[in-house]
Amino acid sequence: YADGIPAFDAPDAFELPRLINDLIAVRKGQAIEVPVYLYQKIKNGRDIKYTEFFVPTRVTFLDGILSFCKELRPHVDLSLFIERDNSARRTSRIERDQKKRGVPAEQSAILFDIMQTALYAQFILPQKQAADYAVVNAP
């Protein structure tokens, strides 16, 4: 946590058992309901804003910064790690936080600088070695 906001780039920020169960269902061709969280309420707990109905297709993509954690790897057939430099990640995080979450740019920048950079090095970048393919996404 930083300023009362959870560290969303850390593994314990995710409902991993639910995600694993959902992946198993999707691989079996079963539709699932995916929770969509309201960022402003997550500070005080896991409040779900709504759910989206997801019907699997022949090819399904799992997108996320911790998609290669060891618990998820058995449920994924092919993995692609897209690497961006710190400056590009910072810029897009600030823009996303402003547009989609209503977080002021200054607050987002501070959180990125004190929390996300360290968490990226600790949890996200090491996953690169588990990927089948890795590419660099230049700005």
pLDDT for the residue 43: 52
Any idea how long the chain is?
Answer: 139
| pLDDT tens digits, 51-101 | 899 999 999 898 887 788 888 899 999 999 988 888 998 999 899 989 988
The DSSP secondary structure of the chain, one letter per residue, reads -BTTB--TTSGGGS-HHHHHHHHHHHHTT--EEEEEE-HHHHTTS--EEEEEEE---SS-----TTTTSTTTGGG-S--EEEE--HHHHHHHHHHHHHHHH---HHHHHHHIIIIIHHHIIIIIGGGGGG-SEEEE---
Higher per-residue confidence, 13 vs 103: 103
Query: Is 46 part of a structural domain of the chain?
Result: yes
Q: Does residue 50 fall inside a structural domain?
A: yes
Give pLDDT tens digits for 11-60.
777 788 999 999 999 999 999 999 887 766 555 555 667 889 999 999 98
CATH number for the domain including 15?
A: 3.40.50.300
Predicted local confidence at residue 127, as pLDDT? 86
Residue 6 lies in a domain: no
* Count of the separate structural domains present in the chain: 1
**What pTM, to 2 d.p., does this model score?**
0.73
Q: Please measure the distance between the N-terminal and C-terminal CA atoms of the chain and give it in whole angstroms.
A: 29
Q: What range defines the domain where residue 26 resides?
A: 11-136
User: Is 109 part of a structural domain of the chain?
Assistant: yes
